Amino acid sequence: MVKKILGAIFALIVLLIAVVFLLGNVWQRTEHGTLDFKAALILKARNAFLKEEPLVAEKLRADGNARAKTLQGSPEEVGKVEDMKIPGPAGEILVRVYSPSGNGPFPVLLFYHGGGWVIGNLDTADTACRFLANRVPCLVVSVDYRLAPEHPFPAAVEDCYAALQWVANNGKKLNGDPSRIAVSGSSAGGNLAAAIPLVARDRGGPNVSYQVLIYPATNLSDLSTDSYRFFGKGYGLLKEHVDFFIRCYLPDEKDRINPYASPLLAKDLSGLPPAIVITAGFDVLRDEGKAYVDRLREAGVETVHSHYPTMIHGFLTMDRLFGEAEDALVEISNELKKAFY
């Protein structure tokens, strides 16, 4: 009797696995290409249970921070991790400095976390920062810039630029090399990482050696691209969420065409540092990321474009789910090694 029950349970489990596998194969085939199998399952489950709720910054922050803890892998050990406060344009800015093991001075990578300029913090980018510190190797300075709607544009830009200035002036004290500084960020952080070289160029420094733009938002004045039409609902990052984030960050609509908010709209991109731009196939920001690659290349900026066609927005900080997260981080590390060493 026990054997029959166990046999029936085993058969049921096998049947469920087979059903999930078949459904996943169906769901990952879309009219816009093939979605990653795990992403297809996760999105289908998420969409089935997703409740429409009012968009409130504090609630989104709590949910986003909890989700980041779940989706990030185990943090790597690095030589040293230290939180410190640095001077900013409106008070102190919290930064987290990741120092690799070994002898410096090390090149320095500034990292600006994602989160639509409204959510996110130092913890939501922790695993990526640790990985890059070890693999390049370099000092990574992660910046906890001010968030909207409490602090709208240009608060985040000015904080991120202040962090660049601080690293240039104080990098030696951290065993860093101020002559080798790069900027990086994902999503909204990618937007900031694209803006800061423009600010530095326009204000006469500090010098930025390289820029790492991970699925960056580059045009906050236009949500009508094909990628917004195709992936604005059901693929993780919703168009309505982006619209909410932009309204929080840029309540004055005229600021949305400011090149420090929308780098794609800058009249001149010449003189900017070389770049790597990462894009994802099923991401509302896909098209503006590709458009920025084109603009950089047209301006004579050496630019690597790495596209992950089966991935969704935010995959790089979902390393517990997607092997492509490590692939992208390895690729970024290799490009930074070339730039730094």
Pick the closest to residue 208 from 221, 199, 219 (CA basis).
Answer: 199
Residue 151 is a catalytic residue: no
The type of residue at 15 is L
Helix (H, G, I), strand (E, B) or coil at 313: coil
Helix (H, G, I), strand (E, B) or coil at 234: coil
Residue of 144, 177, 283, 287 marked active site? 283
β partners of residue 30: 33
Q: Please report, for the chain, how many H helices and E strands are present, in that order.
A: 10, 10
| C-alpha to C-alpha distance for 258 and 62, rounded to whole angstroms | 30
Q: Is 60 exposed, middle or buried (0-12, 13-18, 19+ CB in 10 A)?
A: buried
How many Cα atoms within 13 Å fall on the side-chain side of residue 94?
9
Are 185 and 117 within 8 A, CB to CB?
no
- Torsion-angle region of 92 (φ positive above 0: left; ψ -120 to 50: alpha; else: beta): beta
Residue of 142, 187, 227, 333 marked active site? 187
Pick the closest to residue 282 from 324, 249, 310, 255 (CA basis).
Answer: 310
**Residue corresponding to tokens 């908010």:** 261
Residue 307 is a catalytic residue: no
| C-alpha to C-alpha distance for 244 and 246, rounded to whole angstroms | 5
Helix (H, G, I), strand (E, B) or coil at 70: helix
Residue of 126, 313, 319, 333 marked active site? 313
Q: Which residues touch 23 (CB under 8 Å, ≥6 apart)?
A: 41, 44
| C-alpha to C-alpha distance for 211 and 136, rounded to whole angstroms | 14
The type of residue at 168 is A
Residue 283 is a catalytic residue: yes
Are 74 and 321 within 8 A, CB to CB?
no
**Residue corresponding to tokens 């236009």:** 222
Active site residues: 187, 283, 313
